[in-house]
Amino acid sequence: MNRLEIEKTLNEDRAWLIDAYAALGDAELTDPVTPSEHDGSKTWNAKDHLVHLILIERNWNNMIRRHIAGEKDTVGLGSAKLGKERTREEIMAGVHKWTESWADKHRTDSLDEIVALGQSARAETLQLLSELTQEQLDDKIPGAPWADGVTGGIIEANAGHGRMHWNWVKEGREKAASAKR
């Protein structure tokens, strides 16, 4: 995975994602599209999915920086504070709670505010990418389940993550439209 490919993918997919969201009207941005993974009484809208991407991108950047600095257990998903391994269900429950809190914090933000927040996260990602050597980009982060744990692949996975969430938004909108018929 080389930096040219990573940057190209990040930039092209970010532009594509912004175009996709910019084409949505106000109601399409705020209408419910998917159930919350944390709180069954809540739903997520298109903006919630977009703001989620920002949280994860920042988290991955921080994880990579900790790994490069030599810290151990930089992913931290499987460890509990008492040293007991957590189950996948426990891990996902914690992740869903964390992302729900972030979505709640930004739920009333405008699309413009969310895009600006995303620009800040992407700038951090591109800065990080510029600082890493090819050896660091090829390095594996122990315990990282994304992109085979390879640092460069995790950075590039931000692009695929955006497309995955867009597909969920699109499917949710289509399902809601067919239910109205």
* Of 72 and 63, more confident: 63
Which domain range does residue 173 map to? 3-180
Residue 72, pLDDT score: 85
pTM, to two decimals: 0.91
Q: How sure is the predictor about 50, in pLDDT bands with cuts at 50, 70 and 90?
A: very high
Which residues lie below 8 Å from residue 42, measured CB to CB, with a gap of 6+? Answer: 35, 36, 100
In this predicted model, what pLDDT tens digit does every residue of 22-44 receive, in sequence order? 999 999 999 999 998 898 889 99
pLDDT of residue 79 exceeding 90, the answer is no
Distance between CA atoms of 78 and 102, rounded to whole angstroms?
21
Q: Which pLDDT band holds residue 78 (cuts at 50, 70, 90)?
A: low
pLDDT at 89: 80
151: nearest Cα among 52, 49, 62: 62
Domain count, the chain: 1
Helix (H, G, I), strand (E, B) or coil at 150: strand
Cβ–Cβ under 8 Å, residues 51 and 63: no
Inform me whether the pLDDT recorded for 145 exceeds 90: no
Task: Band the pLDDT of 86: cuts 50, 70, 90.
Answer: low
CATH number at 36 reads 1.20.120.450
Average pLDDT score over residue span 153-157: 97
